[in-house]
Amino acid sequence: MIDTQKTPSGESGPGVPPRKSMIYVVDDDYDVRTSLRFLLETEGFDVRTFRSGVALLGSATRNHADCLVVDYKMADLDGLELAQRLRRLEVSTPIILITGYPDEKITAKASSAGVLEVLLKPNLESNLVDCVRNAIDKSPAAPRL
């Protein structure tokens, strides 16, 4: 029996591995970026990291992710401002905002900025992976892992 899988364009072919979902992580804390990258790669995602919102905005590939994981508090611009700028640039990729600074109005602010979900640090592990998978499943894009 030949193992047939779909290509990113939706075509079937023998032995063609499915495309892994690409997750962009934006956080100005090196240790957090590294930890999130490890967690998401362990779960089977491809991951690219950015040390700031400005770095992501300046990237020619800013629209190539299947999901964005963005820190709220960053030195150059915060995660909400980054989300707003991405939406103005017509980047429709689902955004998950992570924060260690809970605020009673953060969910409403995040929603109005185009953020799909807000998660609290430091215990992100299973919640983050579930949120990323759900965001990708709801997003109308190419087939993924």
Pairing of strands 12-14, 4-6: antiparallel
Which residues in 29-64 are b (16+ Cβ under 10 Å) and which e?
beebbebbbebbeebebebebbbbbbebbeeeebee
Question: Per-block average pLDDT, block size 10, for the chain (145 residues)?
Answer: 41 64 96 94 96 94 92 93 94 93 86 92 83 87 42
Report d(CA 97, CA 19) in Å as an integer: 25
Q: For residues 131 and 80, what is the distance between their CA atoms, to the nearest angstrom? A: 18
The answer, as to whether pTM is greater than 0.75, is: yes
Q: Cβ neighbours of residue 8 under 8 Å, at least 6 residues apart?
A: 19, 142, 143
pLDDT of residue 51: 96
Give the pLDDT confidence score for residue 136 in this predicted structure. Answer: 93
